[in-house]
Homo-oligomer: A and B are copies of this chain.
Amino acid sequence: MPNNTNNFSLELNPNVSVDCVIFGFDLEQLTVLLIDRGEISSGFGPRLALPGNLIYDNENLDMAANRVLDELTGLKSIYLEQVGAFGDPDRIHKQSDQAWLKSIRAEPEARVITVAYYSLVPMSKYKPQASSFAKNAYWVPVSQINELAFDHYEILQAAKGKLKQKIKIQPIGFNLLPTKFTLSQLHRLYESILDKPLDKRNFRRKILKINILSSLREKQRGVPHKPSLLYEFNEEKYQELTQTGFDNFGF
């Protein structure tokens, strides 16, 4: 909770919320962090939602997104980027959502515009801990999600759209993969962001050509197949390309 040391009142603004799309990767599929709203919404509609809530009048939008994510899932100090604002007048007026809002909000009927944020994090380092009105919080493969509370499905798709755009001009992976990874895992990551199969040999050639990977003198252990060579990102070159962008290599 923010402390009340400035001139603004410590009140939730009834009209503005933030929602967070936190992407992870389980080495097979792109995942997203969702909260379970619990029994009160069951029987009516989806129990799962993006972590989100109203903003306080004394915090800016970035602060609000970080606070809400922490309050609901325990994830702290995540670098969040804006997806955009979502403001359909009907976005919170489904019956199931209204039943739930009545149980947690002072003005459940108020028009709410939400500002969505997204981030890429290494799943293995972030074990969500649900609290506040989240009954549970966990990682769900994006491809398994068909509906979510409010307009959160639409927000999720928009965030994924941003990711698809970004992958064309910036390297992606550093924040989603463990420190050491195989080229197959990186290949799967790109496939699951782009939602299409990518030719394995072409992918390897292109990704090695941009020169952001260092191959290690080390192989996978304890895998039920022929162990693959491990790689890590050359952090300096990776960060450089993340800043400046690179040639779209035509995925």
Residues of A within 8 A of B (CB): 6, 8, 13-16, 55, 57-61, 64, 82, 84-89, 111, 113, 115, 168-169, 245-248, 250
Contacts and interface: CB of A to CB of B under 8 A. Distances in A.
A10 B61 CA distance: 27
Count of this chain's copies in the oligomeric assembly: 2
15 contacts: A6-B89, A13-B111, A16-B113, A55-B113, A59-B89, A60-B87, A60-B89, A82-B85, A84-B84, A85-B85, A87-B115, A113-B115, A168-B169, A246-B248, A247-B247
Contact of A84 (B57, B59, B82, B113): B82
A3 to B, nearest CB: 14
Contacts of A61: 85-87, 113
A60 B13 CA distance: 19
A55 to B, nearest CB: 7
A2 to B, nearest CB: 10
Most chain B CB neighbours (cut-off 10 Å) among A13, A59, A85, A169? A85
Nearest to A87: B61
A16 B84 CA distance: 14
A79 B6 CA distance: 40
A61 B13 CA distance: 18
Given A60-B89, A84-B85, A87-B115, 8 more contacts: A8-B111, A13-B15, A82-B84, A82-B85, A85-B115, A168-B245, A169-B169, A247-B248
A8 B89 contact: yes
A192 B59 CA distance: 35
